[in-house]
Structure 1
Amino acid sequence: MKISISPAVRVALYVLTLLGAPVIVYLRARGIIGDLELALWGAEVSAVSALAAFNVPSGTGD
């Protein structure tokens, strides 16, 4: 399955997720954000991971 989001947008999402993770953990450790925000971040990470997985060639002649 291919999701038609431009490669530049996908790369931006991947980099944002990569750089955002330690920031979110830091903010949670300091008590600046709560469990709800942490759960929302987890959902964002899951969505970006799924996007990455959907855009990997299956090897069956896609």
Structure 2
Amino acid sequence: MSRLRILVVHNRYQLPGGEDAVVDAEIELLRRYGHPVEAYVRDNRELGGMNALNAFAQTLW
């Protein structure tokens, strides 16, 4: 099987949950099978100090 170059994009929740655990497990599994994985991960806690208007302006649509 050929190796795939994989980009995983994920936004973590302020309170860790099942989706965060699944993303971490998938990245580990893919790497274990020899696929190079680049993870781009952001965190909702980054919004903690922003007011609503600034948060809206900084959001990718």
Is the shorter-chain TM-score for this pair beyond 0.5, marking a shared fold?
no
TM-score, length basis structure 1 = 0.37
TM-score, length basis structure 2 = 0.37
Q: Greater relative contact order: 1 or 2 (C-alpha under 8 angstroms, separation 6 or more)?
A: 1
